[in-house]
Amino acid sequence: MSGEPAMALLTVDLDLDRIQPPVLYSPWWWVPALVAVVAAALATWMCRRALAARDEPAEDDLEALRAATLRRLGDIAASSGGDAVTRRALVGRLGAEVRSFLGVATGSDLDYTTRMQWLVAADRDPRLGAAVDLLLEISDVVFRAGGDADVAGFGRRAVEVVSSWR
């Protein structure tokens, strides 16, 4: 008796296969799947290559950036007149130009960071030592009342930092 229900179930499965046979997928579906995987890998490789080339500026780009930054620093230092508030604002602009140059030259976010992050960056990259010292002094002058805002002096130091960057 126990063998009969199993045989009945087996005959039902065989009957279903004759009524609606299993569908076989075409092997051509692997071609678009393979093309999609290869296209995704190629796009990823191209994006990574483009981003890697963008991280470090080429020597020509760095020299053009240096020249433009030196020109702007010269313009700011040349307009070193006015009252103490104006001189402090000019010193702040000098610091912003130096931070912007270093941010692009190092491929980092140095132009958007805080004093403490400057110190950490200088510990990691010794080339930033003179620049961070200048930026710390500039921020002291700009954000603390009564600081001496020697625009010409800070301008000379900023030009020295940008000119000597390698």
Q: Give the pLDDT score at 77.
A: 87
**Per-residue pLDDT tens digits for 77-114:** 888 777 878 888 899 999 999 999 998 888 888 878 88
Domain around 126 = 58-164
Contacts of 76 (CB under 8 A, 6+ apart): 90, 93, 94, 97, 151, 155
Q: Give the pLDDT score at 13.
A: 60
Same-domain pairing of 118 and 97: yes
Q: Give the pLDDT score at 130.
A: 92
Same-domain pairing of 41 and 65: no
Residues in the chain, pLDDT under 70: 1-22, 53-59, 147-148
For the record, the structure tokens of 18 come out as 């004759």
Domain count, the chain: 2
Same-domain pairing of 94 and 69: yes
Same-domain pairing of 48 and 108: no
Q: Give the pLDDT score at 143.
A: 85
